[in-house]
């Protein structure tokens, strides 16, 4: 049902307005598909969003393993960042403000007094240009581009952003996010916010899925989920996933579930394994590699009565997110690695999802 709806929707294209460097441009919004081997992924240029990921299970039955919607209008009305690229600064900025080079910037808050995922109209809520769409060959790919104007959501400087999704043999999906500051120094921290359920998007909760996160420390947060600026060991806490554990094994020790940034071990700008997720029933395995220092582990704690693909209703813990990133609120913590990108320099963020089957 969901697959049929998406195929029908792919024939329907709407015209939307995109704001590029303060001027209005017309960009079509549509659905785009890449295929390689057993892996099939669909995207929309609304929010540079992953719409579906189809893979066989251990019995050879195809299934869609990401949460999503049947129409672009649903994505436009979404408040959970389902499948989208978030920015200019992902995660939270305490007090929706920061100081850079002696200038104090006040941003537009959208979660109480704080900013979340770039503000009320972040990168997840704009139309991206399709710069390149290569459906065939060794590595099918699509490139989305967005020009963020100086002052957008309160951030300084114009920023040119691209997100490239590529499929490689061996059921690998690579995400490459790049950004160039054009005229002013500015913070940049992009994240890919797909909700994964390896059992299928409509298979219920993910509490039985096994997760391993290669991180010995995490960044503790206050009651508003703003980092305190400290680092804490995962040892002896429910946050310890150095060895594989089911998501539900200790989740009841937390108020709502997991929503925390992990400090990935050994990341030095090169690609490192950040996490592994396994679903016993389907046999699907997902390995995540990144060049970023952190990964936000989120168990969809605040999903409630969200009507998704084929009318299926998503609820709390119906999926998990593994958002590789710089540390949240880095602009207000000098001891965190800097997220400031200066003109002439380029931000580069790589994610590799490798899918396989275990018995």
- Give catalytic residue positions: 193, 323
Place of tokens 């220092």: 293
**Any binding-site annotation on 172?**
no
SS3 40: strand
- d(CA 98, CA 89) in angstroms, rounded, equals 12
Is the dihedral angle over the CA atoms 52, 178, 340, 273 positive or is it negative? positive
What radius of gyration, in Å, describes the C-alpha atoms of the chain?
Answer: 19
- Closest C-alpha among 34, 32, 33 to residue 45: 32
Establish whether 194 is an annotated binding residue: yes
Q: Quote the Cα angle for 91-97-103, to 5°.
A: 130
- Three-class secondary structure of residue 3 per DSSP: helix
- The residue ranges of DSSP E strands in 96-171, in sequence order, are 97-100, 103-106, 115-116, 129-134, 141-148, 159-168
Q: What phi, psi does 282 have (nearest 5°)?
A: -90, -20
CB neighbour list of residue 268: distance below 8 Å, 6 or more residues apart = none
For residues 42 and 147, the answer to whether their CB atoms sit within 8 Å is no
Task: Please state, in angstroms and rounded to a whole number, the distance separating the CA atoms of residues 83 and 74.
Answer: 12
150 is an annotated ligand-binding site residue: no
Residue 195 annotated as binding? yes
DSSP per residue, 189-225: B-EE---B-TT-TTS---TTSEEEE-EEEEE-B-TTS
What token pair was written down for 5? 């709806």
> Using CA atoms, how far apart are residues 21 and 160, in angstroms rounded to an integer?
10
Q: Is 193 marked as a binding-site residue?
A: yes
| 69 labeled binding residue | no
Cα dihedral 200→121→329→210 (10° resolution): 0
Binding site as annotated, residues for beta-D-galactose: 91-92, 193-195, 259
């Amino acid at each position: 049902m969901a697959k049929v709806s998406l195929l029908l929707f792919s024939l329907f294209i709407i015209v939307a307005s995109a704001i590029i460097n303060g001027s209005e441009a017309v960009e079509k919004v549509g659905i785009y598909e890449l295929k390689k081997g057993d892996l099939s992924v669909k995207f929309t240029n609304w929010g540079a969003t992953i719409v579906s990921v189809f893979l066989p299970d251990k019995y050879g039955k195809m299934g869609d393993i990401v949460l999503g919607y049947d129409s672009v209008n649903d994505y436009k009305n979404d408040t959970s960042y389902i499948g989208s690229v978030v920015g200019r600064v992902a995660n939270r900025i305490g007090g929706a403000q920061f100081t850079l080079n002696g200038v104090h910037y006040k941003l537009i808050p959208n979660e109480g007094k704080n900013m979340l995922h770039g503000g009320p109209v972040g990168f997840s809520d704009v139309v991206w240009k399709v710069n390149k769409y290569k459906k065939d060959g060794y590595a099918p790919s699509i490139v989305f581009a967005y020009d963020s104007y100086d002052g957008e959501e309160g951030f300084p400087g114009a920023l040119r952003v691209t997100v490239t999704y590529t499929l490689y043999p061996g059921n690998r999906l690579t995400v490459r996010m790049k950004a160039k500051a054009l005229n002013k120094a500015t913070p940049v921290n992009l994240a890919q916010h797909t909700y994964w359920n390896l059992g299928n998007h409509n298979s219920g909760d993910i509490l039985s899925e096994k997760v391993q996160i290669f991180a010995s420390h995490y960044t503790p947060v206050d009651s508003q989920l703003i980092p305190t600026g400290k680092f804490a060991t995962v040892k002896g806490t429910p946050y310890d996933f150095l060895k594989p554990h089911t998501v539900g094994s200790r989740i009841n020790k937390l108020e709502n579930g997991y929503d925390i940034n992990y400090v990935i071990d050994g990341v030095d700008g090169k690609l490192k394994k950040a996490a592994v997720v396994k679903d016993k029933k389907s046999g699907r395995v997902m390995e995540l590699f990144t060049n970023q220092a952190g990964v936000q582990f989120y168990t969809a704690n605040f999903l409630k009565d969200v009507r998704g693909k084929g009318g299926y209703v998503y609820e709390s813990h119906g999926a998990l997110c593994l958002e590789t990133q710089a540390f949240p609120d880095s602009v207000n913590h000098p001891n965190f690695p800097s997220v400031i990108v200066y003109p002439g320099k380029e931000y580069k963020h790589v994610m590799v999802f490798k899918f396989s089957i275990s018995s």
